[in-house]
């Protein structure tokens, strides 16, 4: 299995500021993703973090608002820029891990709970 | 992405078995059926997955219809710790997936 940690676990921020969320995996993984989960909602994919190249964003999400870095196979950051109260959500890092036996399993971090005032 | 359909919510009595259904009529031959659950205030956690045959692990069992257009997650004895949102997802491995609304399971003591 893959163990994922995220920092910070939660934060309260003022509108107009930016927050960078870190995701650390205990194993090298190929695929890393960032999700957002708004209160009471399901998960929405923000982007795929590509190692060594620009992230691939889903419809409705742009690089200027959610810049992503992926410097190596175990680490990624997501920045929420120029925050507004609508950005208050849980942000989750996720990876695909190749299990013994060949199956790919998706693992999730514990999430970062962001409240923007 | 192939879509899945699940009931919004279900209830179960503690110590009783729970059958959580999922419809995926547009499943393709290479799609694996994955189940995740999200406990309150936590990230989703993997429960089980399968392709064609029924699967068992320490957490649950997965029953897959012969035509693969539906599946059922079976919790053999529900406990209060099993209260969560359960997501049924189709995945081809190393591909982005779409989460539906899932089934919120309430376990009644």
- Indicate if the pLDDT at residue B52 is higher than 80: yes
Q: What is the pLDDT of residue A81?
A: 98
Hey, which residues does A49 pair with through a beta bridge? A32
Q: What is the pLDDT of residue A14?
A: 97
What proportion of chain B, given as a percentage, has pLDDT over 90? Answer: 73
**Of A38, A8, A36, residue with least CA distance to A21:** A8
| Cβ contact B49–A105 (<8 Å) | yes
Q: Which of A1, A34, A43 to mutate to test the interface with B (most CBs of B within 10 A)?
A: A43
**What is chain B written as a DSSP string?**
----B--SEEEEETTS-EEEEEE-TT--TTPEEEEEEE-TTS--EEEEEESSS-EE-SS-EEEE-TTSSEEEEEESS--GGG-EEEEEEEE-SSS-------EEEEEE-
Residues of chain B with Cβ-Cβ distance to A107 below 8 Å are: 46
> Phi, psi at residue B60, to the nearest 5°?
-165, 180
A contact residues 78-97, partner B, Cβ 8 Å cutoff:
92, 94, 96
Q: Are B88 and B35 in contact (CB under 8 A)?
A: yes
Rounded to a whole number of angstroms, the distance from the CA of A82 to the nearest CA of chain B is 25
Cβ neighbours of A38 in B, within 8 Å:
none
Residue A9, classed as helix, strand or coil, is coil
| Mean pLDDT score, B8-20 | 96
Tell me if chain B has a CB within 8 Å of the CB of A38: no
Which among B43, B101, B102 has the least Cβ separation from residue A92?
A: B43
Mean pLDDT to the nearest integer, B56-83: 95
B94–A104 CB contact, under 8 Å: yes
pLDDT of amino acid A105: 83
Do B46 and A107 make contact, defined as CB atoms within 8 angstroms? yes
Write the secondary structure of A25-82 as one string of H (helix), E (strand) and C (coil). ECCCCCCEEEEEECCCCCEEEEEEECCCCCCEECCCCCCCCCCEEEEECCEEEEEECC
- Residues from chain A that touch B98, judged by Cβ atoms under 8 A, are 45
For residue A107, what are its two tokens?
């693992």
- Give mean pLDDT, residues B68-72: 96
DSSP bridge partners of A18: none
Interchain CB contact of B44 with A (< 8 Å):
yes
Q: Residue B94's pLDDT band (boundaries 50, 70, 90)?
A: low
- Asked if residue B1 lies in contact with residue B64, where contact means CB atoms within 8 angstroms, the answer is no
**Kindly report the CA angle at B77 between B74 and B78, in degrees rounded to 5?**
85
What pLDDT was estimated at residue A64? 97
- What is the arithmetic mean of pLDDT over B81-101? 86
- Quick one: tokens of B30? 């290479």
Q: What is the pLDDT of residue B2?
A: 60
Q: Inter-chain contact B98–A111, Cβ cutoff 8 Å?
A: no
Mean pLDDT of B80-105: 88
Mean pLDDT computed over B21-31:
91
pLDDT band of B18, cuts 50, 70, 90: very high
Average of per-residue pLDDT across B38-49: 91
Count of Cβ atoms closer than 10 Å to residue B92 Cβ: 15
| Nearest beta carbon to residue A110 from set B43, B93, B102 | B43
DSSP state of A24: E
pLDDT at position A15, please? Answer: 97
Q: How much is the average pLDDT of B27-48?
A: 91
Taking 70 as the pLDDT cut, the residues of chain A under it are none
Asked if pLDDT for residue B9 goes beyond 70, the answer is: yes
Show the tokens assigned to A39: 């209160």
Using left for φ > 0, alpha for ψ between -120 and 50, and beta otherwise, residue B15 falls in left
Top-confidence residue, B99 or A65: A65
**The two three-digit tokens of residue B28, written as one number:** 């393709």
pLDDT at B1 exceeding the cut of 60: no
Q: Do B43 and A105 touch (CB under 8 A)?
A: no
Cα separation, A53 vs A59, in Å, equals 19
């Amino acid at each position: 299995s893959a163990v994922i940690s995220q920092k910070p676990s939660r934060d309260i921020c003022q509108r107009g500021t930016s927050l960078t969320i870190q995701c650390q995996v205990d194993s090298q993984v190929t695929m890393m993703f960032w999700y957002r989960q708004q209160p009471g909602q399901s998960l929405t994919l923000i982007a795929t973090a590509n190692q060594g190249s620009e992230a691939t964003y889903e419809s409705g999400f742009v690089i200027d608002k959610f810049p992503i870095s992926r410097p190596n196979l175990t680490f990624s950051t997501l920045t929420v820029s120029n925050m507004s109260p609508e950005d208050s959500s849980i942000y989750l890092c996720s990876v695909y891990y190749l299990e013994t036996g060949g199956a790919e399993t998706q693992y999730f971090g514990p999430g970062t709970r962001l409240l923007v005032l | 992405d192939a879509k899945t359909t699940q009931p919004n919510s279900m209830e179960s009595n503690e110590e009783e078995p729970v059958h959580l259904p999922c419809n995926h009529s547009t499943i393709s031959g290479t799609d694996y059926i994955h189940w995740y659950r999200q406990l309150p205030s936590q990230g989703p956690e993997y429960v089980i997955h399968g392709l064609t045959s029924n699967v068992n692990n320490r957490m649950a069992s997965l029953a897959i219809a012969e035509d693969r257009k539906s599946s059922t997650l079976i919790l053999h004895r529900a406990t209060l710790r099993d209260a969560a949102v359960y997501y049924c997802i189709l995945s081809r491995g190393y591909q982005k997936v779409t989460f539906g609304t899932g089934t919120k399971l309430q376990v009644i003591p």
